[in-house]
Amino acid sequence: MFRSTRYLISALHRIKDRYLHTCDQHLSDVAEYESPNTDEYKKGPTEGRSLYLDAQATTTLDSRVLDKMMPYLTVYHGNPHSRTRMYGWESEAAVKHARQQIADLIGADK
């Protein structure tokens, strides 16, 4: 029983690695995603408009961040911590990619 479980887990890891490789290829497609959102708030003067300063728990989301997140809120909506399903693998690949981008940005060790 233990041997068959070990073989099954090994096979799942191989499938996951192969699938994550294809997810990395799809991440470039997501980078070209066209957002349906408009940046109306960026147009025109801001004089006379109120400025919300209590952003501790309700920070406004930058439209560039929303544009990058939108595919994962609508198409690739798996839980990145669910490693037993391919939906989680897609999201996990995206999280790894984002972490790597941040690490590169701040010059963190890998």
**Residue of 68, 88, 66 lying closest to 79 (CA atoms):** 88
The model's confidence at residue 76, banded by pLDDT at 50, 70 and 90, is confident
Cα–Cα dist 109/98, whole Å: 15
What mean pLDDT is predicted for residues 28-57? 62
Predicted confidence at residue 24, as pLDDT, reads: 61
pTM of the complete model beyond 0.75: no
Of residues 34 and 70, which shows the higher confidence score?
70
Q: Could you give the residue ranges of the DSSP H alpha helices within 59-85?
A: 63-74
